[in-house]
Structure 1
Amino acid sequence: MQFVEPFLLWGALAVAIPVVIHFWHQKQGKLLPWAATQWLIEKQQQQSRGFRLDNILLLFIRCLLLALLAILLAQPILNWLNKPPVLQKVHLAQPSPAVSNNFKFELTDALKKGERVIWATNKLEPVTEQLSLPQPPAPFNSLILQTAINSLNTKNTELHLYITTNQALANTPAVIVPALFHLHTLLDSASRLRPYLATKNDQKLFVNRAGKLIRAPLLDPTLKFLSAPAHSGPIQVLLNYRNEREKQTVNAALEALIDVYGFDLIIDEKLIPNRIYSWILTDQIPAKPAAQTLYIVSGIESSARQANVIFTNELLTPQTSELVSTGQLPEWLGTQLTRYYGFQTGNLPLSKQDLKTLFITTTKPTTEQHAGVQNVMLLFFIGLLFFERWLALTKNA
């Protein structure tokens, strides 16, 4: 016999409670003076020693009730008479060229065996012999993956999952998979080389394997970087605000970026002629945006789409911006700058420990596996409870 919650079997130790109450109840009584006691012989006056069990059947039933309740809460499973289930293999593949090419043999072999092979999309599109990817290209992340797994009938299913490992999968705390689960991972070698910034004092600013922005004298040798930095030397920044309060707020956020992350920024609060700025923060729409400059335009709502011009419809002050009031403005500005220079954290691979933590198998049985024995034991428990109450009232115990 197996149990869904075996630790609840410790509750069976509660059978000691009715035994203790039984003996305690025997000790309760009142001494009644009786005049004829003096005529009794000494032998008859001796008190009986030790414990005496009365109403043994009632005591046994009460102990059995507590033990049965503990077993019921532990949710027993009886599989003695069940035949071993027939397992169905399901192959769930990430819709990407890398997975399709790398696991071509495994997926094709599964199709030849008549096993179910599907793309991990919201529609669970079947994989053809040509391994053609869904059209239009389907997005893929941890939420879509979990939705696809939940859409499968995982009862008596052996799931094979084919994915590329990257930080984008870690957007959710965990992905719940069936107990019979096999993970086939691929490190996407086609991902582009990672950029970095060369800052003052021969320091390098880059995203490490854990997806964190750090500054160090040497690049991480386990990662592949571009041969030259995306930017070398200080970054020229211009604060072109008409609102003095907003200028002070943004300036404080940039100073925090310098102190915390080590950005090499030179900040000008007034335009200096003939100086080329790499980053301009303003509350005015630029007339002719320079291609080599990143613009952050606040307080203006615009539908214009330019890679180097970012609009935010709120003024960057504590009274008008949630980013400022919650202290997230420095991090947000740093994210915009690193994205502009091509820093991507989503392509970083997950470690084996990360994958072990991310994918959690569920061993909880289905309702059909233990509903029958649960119902029988529950009916027996209720009947035994009624019998115990009748017996207690009859014997006044």
Structure 2
Amino acid sequence: MQFLQPILLWGLLGISIPFLIHLWRGKKGTLLSWAAMHWLPTQESSVANGIRLENILVLILRILMLVLLVFLLSQLFLPKLNEAAEARIIHLVQPSNQVTEEYRFEIQQALEKGEEVFWADDVLSPIESMEELNSTQKKLSLQGSLDQVPSEATELNLYLSNSKNAFGAAFFLSKIKPKLHLGSSELGKSQPQSLALDGGKVLQANKQGLLDSLPKGQDMTSSMSLGKEQFGYFLAEGNSSERVVIQAAFEAINEVYGFEFVEKEQVEKAKLVFDSELPAESRGDKLYFISGNHSFSEQANLLTYSDRLDFEASEQVQTGRLPELILEEFLAFSGIEQQDVKLSYAQVERRFLVQSDKSQSKKANLNLLLLGLFLGCFAAERYFANQQGI
């Protein structure tokens, strides 16, 4: 048994009020006059006082009414009643033979229990038998499948690979906090990609996934060029401390990698846009960094951060990771394929933003019962009180 508003239980102290009233009335007594009273001797005339048995019944009813009213306002909740009525477990499976093979037993158990199992695709395709796990025609659409999860779901299980390239740089919005089941399969190996800059400089990702100068004479297996127009950025008017930090981050990137980012006075000429407000109309050819904003966007080129990008508020700035963050998002937006690495459970978990916590959205499930008892006690109390004239 739980109370969703336990602070209102202090109202139970009011039980003493009807009890004290009954004691006071019993102590005071009541003068009853009748026609032949003056014929009685004075010594036989007395005041009847004390609490009669009938009064005790009214007292109990009034105390019970007050207890029921406090319980009703405190929102009495029984978890077992909700579990029996609302339990709905959803399983979303990434369309991958490696993931399905690794979690075949868990998926089979879910199907045998009658729980709902779906592919994590854009149409939330159901999986009704183990034979359907061999299908490779589905395409992963994690946010699309999360959007279609029923709001009545009480538990959400996700079966995913822990590949950084599979997740990309996106964050995902979920109705409830998911339970993650991450695969441990080998990551795919891709050909190293080279990045050619104006001036003849060529960079390539090394074994650690960091950009490094390509040795002279080495062949470029896969090359991509970035012109000067790709390195323009725009800083909206606002917090001056953010401006200093962001400019320092670009200077650090230039010092290490030689990327010469240039500030633009007009947002139309910039490739990277830093602002604290969501754009009225976002353009697909720009990468937006929105700071100090609690909104969530599903657009891959619109990144939102709840904290301002300054030293006082941002952990990224305090730890010196802001240049790395900007460069990583810029390269991913520009189409530079990064070396695939495994993500930890904590890293993947941070990618999911929860719309609402089911534990905080409980509704009292005994309100009707308590209200019925309260009305019954009230009717009985009025009946006996009128009978006794109190």
Q: TM-score of the superposition, structure 2-length normalised?
A: 0.48
Higher relative contact order (CA 8 A, sep 6+): 2
